[in-house]
Amino acid sequence: MTVTEPATPLSAATAAACADDGRLGEDDGGGRRRHVKVAIVGAGFAGLAMAIRLKQAGIDDFVVFERGDDVGGTWRDNTYPGAACDVPSHLYSFSFAPNPRWSRSFSPQREILDYLRDTARRHGVLPHIRLGTPVTAMRWVDDARVWRVDTPDGGVTAQFLVPGMGALSEPKLPDIPGIDGFEGALFHSAAWDHDHDLAGESVAVIGTGASSIQFVPEIQPHVGRLHVFQRTPPWIIPRTDRPLTCAEQRLFRALPAAQRAVRAAIYWGRELYAWGFTKPQRMRAPQRLARAHLERQVTDPGLRAQLTPSYTMGCKRILISNDWYPTLTRPNVEVVTDRISEVRRRSIVTADGTERPVDTIICGTGFHVTDFPAGDHIHGPGGASLGDVWNDRGSMEAYLGTTVAGFPNLFLLVGPNTGLGHTSMVFMIESQVSYVLDAMRHLDSARATTVEVRPEVQDAYNCDLQRHLATTVWNAGGCRSWYLDANGRNTSLWPGYSWRFRQRTRRFDPWSYVLRHEPAHPEAAGPGARVLD
């Protein structure tokens, strides 16, 4: 079996600008590391937003660790054919960096990646970024009252740790009997093997989620036979994508307020979905629209029945596509709804006993979201990892998706219950970043060194959150989605209007936290410092 690693197009310009400054990650021979105010992990939308806003606030004392060879996070890794955003470009971008040059209303992956590279360069954060540097451990050293961030070539100590690794960064391969013994090519949509030629092959695609519905129409004309293995059909509505005209681009360049107005209109239009999501019965009208879309595009009653979801629309992410259904009606495509029972060396066998010979398997099977693998590498004062703490509690939990009781000076970006089903994650990221900045400012003005959310505040917050989520379409819509964890608890989504999250994070709320004033001793946190495991 061949499993390929993500193709990470290294931008020479980015790499050159990110050249090592010669100090990071090296100790001084006496066991001391460089100490920074803020260590950020990840250079996708979240990490870059934090870095840029720090810089804008006059704080230069930070470093960004990025395991990939370029900035861009999910938009660097997901290079599959047809990859594009399903949130309009004017909204899926930083509020402080509008882009008048978007070529389409829904941007393709490459353009978003270029936008992130360009924004990072223009805001002067590239010299702070250490590319190709995976963080191996993040430990709070209690004696020193700092975070110790380890990388293969050393690391730093930091007053604040800001993990911004994103929720969709660890591809999930299906656990199907025999899959490890498959002898053809096998790769995940987020690790597309561009060197592998699919022409004329018999190809199996497992999964019919947001990624598959984008790449399947792209590969269908080239492959010999395409077996699409569908476990649950998605609800799909038309994609209202169009090229942006030169006149529009000129207008946005000359009059940025016009682009801001379009952005605001898109934002408030999408907030209407939140109204629908909070009560499943409110989704009846959009569901009729989706059903009409299916009926218009698929005339065969058998196929139509296979593609009709049995849960309320919105329970899983609503997908947008104009070419998914037509592609499934092509003569070389078969939609398989029987459960896969086994993968053999060169074939896939379904529960009804049918064996289909395949050359390549492409897994559009999503990501590790509710198990947050990075949590195993973040260790608090007692040595327990965030993963352990959340396992003991049965679920991931944070306060405002950002701070966690028992983990001082830790600010998660895109943490628990900050995901959205209806609008731009960039909006949530910017809300969190402004909250974190305000917290740092508050600590400085109060001459405090550490901040930790009160456990009772976190408990009350999560209790309230789960109460609101209980009646939403995600919890009560009759489906099983990645929004819910193994215990059926929704630890992924913010329950409703995103502006309410913005409201909650507008100002740091010191009364929810314990602040301490004992001085930090970064020099005590070198490789020899006492760290509990």
Q: Is 356 in the site for ligand NAP (CB under 6 A)?
A: no
Q: Is 317 in the site for ligand NAP (CB under 6 A)?
A: yes
Q: Is 389 in the site for ligand NAP (CB under 6 A)?
A: no
Structure-token pair, residue 371: 């198990």
Pick between residue 184 and residue 380 the one whose CB is nearest to ligand NAP: 184
To ligand NAP, the closest distance from the beta carbon of 204 in angstroms equals 11
- Binds ligand NAP (CB under 6 A): choice among 174, 238, 406, 510: 174
Contact indicator for 42, 66 with CB cutoff of 8 Å: yes
Cα gap 27→19, rounded to integer Å: 18
**Among 25, 72, 70, 22, which Cα is nearest to 46's?**
72
Residue nearest to ligand NAP (CB): 209
Cα gap 386→379, rounded to integer Å: 6
Interface mask (CB under 6 A) for ligand NAP, residues 183-202, using x and -? Answer: ------x-------------
Q: Of 464-483, which residues contact ligand NAP (CB under 6 A)?
A: 482
Stretch touching ligand NAP by CB under 6 A, among 40-48, 84-92, 116-124, 450-458: 84-92
Q: Is 350 in the site for ligand NAP (CB under 6 A)?
A: no
Look at residue 146 and give its three-state secondary structure: strand
- Binds ligand NAP (CB under 6 A): choice among 11, 107, 169, 212: 212
Look at residue 529 and give its three-state secondary structure: coil
Cα gap 379→216, rounded to integer Å: 41
Q: Is 168 in the site for ligand NAP (CB under 6 A)?
A: yes
**Among 217, 265, 285, 271, which Cα is nearest to 423's?**
271
Pick between residue 209 and residue 280 the one whose CB is nearest to ligand NAP: 209
**Among 230, 235, 234, which Cα is nearest to 207's?**
230
- Binds ligand NAP (CB under 6 A): choice among 37, 101, 222, 231: 231
Order across the sheet with 378-379: list the strands.
129-130, 62-65, 34-41, 154-163, 146-151, 137-141, 378-379
Cα gap 263→98, rounded to integer Å: 9
To ligand NAP, the closest distance from the beta carbon of 177 in angstroms equals 11
Q: How do strand 225-229 and strand 202-206 relate by DSSP bridges? A: parallel
Pick between residue 45 and residue 160 the one whose CB is nearest to ligand NAP: 45
Q: Is 366 in the site for ligand NAP (CB under 6 A)?
A: yes
To ligand NAP, the closest distance from the beta carbon of 322 in angstroms equals 14
Structure-token pair, residue 189: 């949509």
- Binds ligand NAP (CB under 6 A): choice among 25, 155, 276, 364: 364
- Site for ligand NAP, rule CB under 6 A: 84-87, 168, 174, 189, 206-212, 229, 231-232, 317, 364-367, 482
